[in-house]
Every structure is written in C-alpha cells, then in structure tokens.
Amino acid sequence: MEDVLERWRSEKTSSFLSDAVAANEPDPKRAKLFGKMAEAAEAQAAIIAKDLK
C-alpha cells in the first residue's frame, strides 16, 4: 500500500511542478508542453488513486 501511495504522491508532485513551470514559461510552445505533462501526470495519479483504499 505504501508503494502505491508513494507512486500517487510522485505523480501529484510531478503534476504540480509541471503546472508551475507551464504557468511561468514565457515561450508558449514550451508552456503548452509543460501543461500537457501536468495533465498526463494528473491522469496517471487518478489511475493510481483507484488502487488506494
């Protein structure tokens, strides 16, 4: 269970950090890329969350 929780935390952290970079990136193409990375990490966290009880 701890492994699943750590994976979830890792994805949530990745999502948060990627979103922060996207919000502060002056290059629109790079900002969009980091935004997509944040979305992907959030989606992965949602999948992992199903294994948490």
Q: Give residue limits of the domains in the chain.
A: 2-49
Sign, CA torsion 37/35/5/51: negative
pLDDT at 53 over 90: no
What single DSSP character describes residue 50?
T
pLDDT per residue over 11-37, tens digit each?
Answer: 999 999 999 999 999 999 999 999 999
CA distance 37 to 23: 12
pTM: 0.89
**pLDDT at residue 46, as a whole number:** 97
CA distance 5 to 46: 12
For residue 38, the tally of other CB atoms under 10 A from its CB is: 20
Q: Are the CB atoms for 45 and 15 separated by under 8 Å?
A: yes
**pLDDT at residue 20, as a whole number:** 98
